[in-house]
Amino acid sequence: MTLTSFPFLLFAAVTVLLYYLVPKRGQWIVLLTASVLFYAAAGGWYLPFILVTVLTTFFLARIIERRAKADEDYITTHKADMDKDARKAYKAAGKKKRFRILTAGLILNFGILAVLKYTGFTLSIVNDILGLFTASTLTVPSLILPLGISFYTFRSTGYLIDVYRGKAKAATNLGKYALFISFFPAVMQGPICRYNDLADQFDTPHRAEWDNLSAGLLRVLWGFFKKLVVADTLMGAVKTIVGTPEDFGGMYVLLLIILYSAVIYGDFTGGIDITIGLSRMLGLRLTENFNRPFSSRSTAEYWNRWHITMGSWFTDYVFYPLSICSSMQKLTKWSRAHLGKAVGMRFPVYLATLVTWFLTGLWHGASWNFIVWGVLNGVIILISRECEPLYKRFRERFPRLTSSAFYGGFMCVRTFFLMGAVRILDCYRDVPVTFKAFASMFYDFSHWGDLLDGSVMDKLGITLPVWILVGLATLLIFFVSRSGKDTPVADRLSNRPVLWTLAALGLAVTVMIFGSYGIGFDAGDFIYGQY
């Protein structure tokens, strides 16, 4: 069941209805039941995996919390008998033990993720290396990949670390915790909510309120609009370009950067709009995952605005611990002493940044494409950090120019194309093909004529009316996103019933007519095949 399918619409509608019909104390049970059904519908074999994650993190978190409490109690009762150093030593010993429990939980859960997601990739690398020496290769097993495993593993391990750090209280109700991990609107593609942000909301009774229902529904429709009218409509053209890169070089790669940016924006932010909107209809507030990402002026800013919950997960649970752990600090001291202050200062930050981005790439997918994509992002962020003094001098030199709207727009466009260019690693077959395609933009000018004589439309299979439709839709998204800077448009409209109705109706009708869903009418299908 994808979020834009008809069965999902029906499923969501029934869930919302039941949710407000049952006694308030049972609301979370409705959601848990719906989540289990949703998950089971995706594949019955997926259930044991998510169950293992739920059970291990739930109980390990409880053990960690209980031990921490016992240690604290011990110190309080024996305060008189212990001096400061003894207390510190006792605390450290306790923490070490808890750290072992945490480590066990992390190894188990990341282990499951690693085995299921990366075995094939690892074996193919091993085979490549073996191939240099022998003819024999290892068989690559086909393993199942449970729905949303990358997302729920992050949610659950994040929770476990938060409990260990004393930032979150361990869950006491296994059912509610299972709901936090498997909450069906968010299980497939996030946002990666933090336990503290979401769990309490399952305890609160929720009344059916107009504000939530209307703003939520409008947001769901908006998500459908972005995904079905923009993303899915352009997807075919993207597939055509990357499918035969030898036919579509030069201008088409530039076009791909723009088209794929629109596709991924519509698809991902639209999907999250549906998730957050549906949750809102249930009276639940999920963490926002996007904040007008294409208005970013730099790569670093972009990553604070795009896929925010994933970025912050990596920052909190990978980047910080890695960059300030004791061995890194030792390394810093050593490099400072031997390589000078400038290098020494940069060392931990740079190393941690690259490792974090390597892992971010790996998390996105088990292939070299994603690894290169991740590391490139890290490298770009570090380069622009090094260039910062240069930019600063430029700003001081030309204050009027650099504070103008034009310059701001230029920075946004520059970031858009930079990120878009890196992002095409997502779609091409492999890394060399991607780089070749990228390079062709600078030497292959043979396709620019296709724009002038209009043959670009035939070649990409998108007719003029569809280009116009997508263009108008993009403009609408642009203006709505601009005007929603302070208060989301959906919230403002829910206070104005007539406007709200017009907006909801307009979106619904637009999606119904212009959305790419169902079996498309392909005239080719109907060309008389004699039989």
Partner 1 sequence: MNELIQILTDLHDDVDFTTETGLIENGILNSLDIVSIITEVSDRFDVTIPAEEIMPENFDSAEALWALICRLDED
Partner 2 sequence: MENTIIKTPKKTLWLRALCIVIALAILAAIPAVLTPILMPKYLTVSKEGSLTEEYYSAVAETNHDVLFVGDCEIFESFVPAILWEEYGISAYLRGGAQQLVWHSYYLLEDALRYETPKAVVFNVYALKYGEPQKEAYNRMALDGMEWSSVKAEAIRASMTEEEDFLTYLFPFFRYHSRWSELTTEDFTYAWKDKPAVSDSGYLMQTGVVPADTQADYTPEQLIDYTLPATAMAYLDRMRALCAEKGIELILVKAPTNFWRYHWYDEWDAQITDYAAEHGLAYYNLIPKAYEMGLDMATDTYDGGAHLNVYGAEKLTRYFGEILAKDHAIPDRRGESDIASVWQRRVEAYYDRKTAMESRE
Contact (CB, 8 A) for 272 and 190: yes
Region 64-93 residues binding partner 1, contact defined as CB under 8 A: 88
Distance CA 290, CA 302 (A): 10
Q: Which two tokens stand for residue 298?
A: 């730099």
Q: Name the residue nearer to partner 2 (CB basis): 111 or 520.
A: 520
- Of partner 1, partner 2, none, which one sits near residue 514, judging by CB under 5 to 8 A according to partner kind? partner 2
Q: Which of 206, 338, 364, 447 is catalytic?
A: 364
Work out whether 167 is an interface residue with partner 1 (CB under 8 A).
yes
42: three-class secondary structure by DSSP: helix
Work out whether 165 is an interface residue with partner 1 (CB under 8 A).
yes
Region 182-241 residues binding partner 1, contact defined as CB under 8 A: none
Work out whether 166 is an interface residue with partner 1 (CB under 8 A).
yes
Work out whether 333 is an interface residue with partner 1 (CB under 8 A).
yes
Q: Name the residue nearer to partner 2 (CB basis): 243 or 520.
A: 520
Whether 307 sits among the annotated catalytic residues: the reply is no
- Of partner 2, partner 1, none, which one sits near residue 210, judging by CB under 5 to 8 A according to partner kind? partner 2
Residues that bind partner 2 (CB under 8 A): 6, 210, 463, 465-466, 469, 497-498, 500-501, 504-505, 508-509, 512-521, 523, 525-531
Work out whether 315 is an interface residue with partner 1 (CB under 8 A).
yes
Q: Cα dihedral angle (484, 490, 496, 497), rounded to 10 degrees?
A: 160
- Shortest spacing between CB 191 and partner 1, in angstroms: 19
What are the CB-based long-range contacts (under 8 Å, 24+) for 277-280?
Answer: 277/215, 277/216, 277/217, 277/218, 277/219, 277/220, 277/221, 277/222, 277/223, 277/490, 278/12, 278/16, 278/185, 278/216, 278/220, 279/183, 279/185, 279/186, 279/216, 280/212, 280/215, 280/216, 280/219
- Shortest spacing between CB 246 and partner 2, in angstroms: 29
Looking at residue 309, the DSSP 8-state letter turns out to be: H
Q: Which residues touch 97 (CB under 8 Å, ≥6 apart)? A: 67
Work out whether 323 is an interface residue with partner 1 (CB under 8 A).
yes
Stretch that binds partner 1, among 25-33, 323-331, 357-365, 409-417 (CB under 8 A): 323-331
Work out whether 353 is an interface residue with partner 1 (CB under 8 A).
yes
Q: Name the residue nearer to partner 2 (CB basis): 415 or 510.
A: 510
Count of helix runs (H) and strand runs (E) in the chain = 26, 0
Work out whether 391 is an interface residue with partner 1 (CB under 8 A).
no
- Shortest spacing between CB 436 and partner 2, in angstroms: 34
Distance CA 493, CA 291 (A): 19
Q: Name the residue nearer to partner 1 (CB basis): 300 or 480.
A: 300
Work out whether 352 is an interface residue with partner 1 (CB under 8 A).
yes
CB burial readout 484-515, b (16+ within 10 A) else e: eeeebbbeebbeeeeebeebbeebeebbeebb
Contact (CB, 8 A) for 366 and 121: yes
Token look-up 């009774």 returns 205
Catalytically active residues are 364
Q: Which residues of the chain form contacts with partner 1 (CB under 8 A)? A: 88, 165-167, 300, 304, 315-316, 319-321, 323-324, 326, 329, 332-333, 345, 348-349, 352-353, 385
